[in-house]
Amino acid sequence: MSVTDHRFPCASCGSDYRYDPGAGQLICDHCGDVAEIETGGHWQGGIKELDFRAALRDQLPAQEMEETRTTKCTSCGAQVELGTDTHATECPFCASPVVTDTGTHRHIKPRALLPFALDEAQARKAMTDWLGRLWFAPNGLQDYARKGRKMEGIYVPYWTFDADTKSQYRGERGTVYYESRTVMRDGKRQTVQVAKVRWRAVSGRVARFFDDVLVLASTSLPKRFTDALEPWDLSALEPYTPEYLAGFRAEGYSVDLDDAFAQARDKMDATIARDVRFEIGGDRQRIHDIDTAVSGVTFKHILLPVWLAAYKYRGETYRFVVNARTGRVQGERPWSAWKIAVAVILGAALAGGIGYLVALEQGGF
């Protein structure tokens, strides 16, 4: 994985533009100049898919590839790109210093992205509100997060896959029926209804076209965090142009295309199994076998925006990720030992008080 800074000089003063999520434009904070983002050119005509099999054979056109120089974080394994004049930096994923140059990385260019919709102030508010709703979170961490270090705006890499599938299945349809039985309960005979299932062998076919099956292409953040940031409004994807990255950073993918497709197949297979159960019908279903033919596989490399905070607090690293489109937050779950201790003491006191009142009532006082 590499994390790249993208800089665009202001046409008026030469300082760096940044992409402003609220205005949807490039803005120079030094002189106030504003520039529109130009689209078209190679991307004109919409967002096009790439052929999966051609990519596996390393036969994509040269313009779909690029090369970056990377630096590896020894703490979390992330690879951060250093500029030509930079010899050390801080890992945005774990806040550790990184200095080791590990060479170049050749990879597929992004095809599309979702631009940032929330600025840093909005993301910080979402994060601190989320922390405030956590029981037993340390107050010090909440205060530190409110006043702490700058959050990083990062585009995280994903793959999307399209595929046409046709599946043959074998299974059984179960129909529930009831039998009457006589049982003894409390010394009395009672008639009860007992559920039974009558099974019948079935087979058939289902077909489904999958569009934009989303797979995380990064290993720098826990997958449970990024999965919980979904859903993403992929219908709002914009054709990739680097101006959207001005003032932000972009992470290169570390999950290869073939490994990502294996994850996509798991998602597809789960959906196909649901389709088969629906097709089998009845009250219960058993699936014995599904044989799926997959064709017409295409893919895109896309970038999705997050705000990231990595805090070292009392010797521990806490990471928080904010969906920069919706404000949904996920992160490490901090605990306050003294808050837990107070809660345990209060709980014990409350239980003791209730027990005392019950004892009084039973004693007739």
Q: Give the model confidence (pLDDT) of 64-96 as tens digits.
A: 988 776 666 777 666 655 554 445 566 777 667
Count of structural domains, the chain:
1
Residue 309 lies in a domain: yes
Residue 241 reports pLDDT greater than 50: yes
Nearest Cα residue to 50 out of 240, 208, 252, 292: 240
Domain that holds residue 335: 46-162+212-269+296-341
Residue 299 reports pLDDT greater than 90: yes
Cα 124 to chain center, whole Å?
19
Residue 354 lies in a domain: no
How many angstroms separate the CA atoms of 275 and 263, rounded? 19
Residue 329 lies in a domain: yes
Residue 18 reports pLDDT greater than 80: yes
% of the chain surpassing 90 pLDDT? 47
Residue 12 lies in a domain: no
% of the chain surpassing 70 pLDDT? 72
Residue 249 lies in a domain: yes
Residues 207-236: what's their mean pLDDT? 92
* Choice between 169 and 343, residue whose per-residue pLDDT is larger: 169
- Mean pLDDT of the residues in the chain: 82
From residue 311, alpha-carbon distances to 96, 218, 307 in Å are 10, 20, 13
pLDDT at 342: 43
Residues 290-309: what's their mean pLDDT? 96
Contacts of 155 (CB under 8 A, 6+ apart): 113, 245, 248, 249, 250, 251, 303, 304, 305, 306
Residue 2 lies in a domain: no
Cβ pair 106, 116 in contact under 8 A: no
**pLDDT confidence bin for 344, thresholds 50/70/90:** very low
Residue 318 lies in a domain: yes
pLDDT at 144: 57
Residue 6 lies in a domain: no
How many angstroms separate the CA atoms of 95 and 195, rounded? 59
Residues 266-289: what's their mean pLDDT? 97
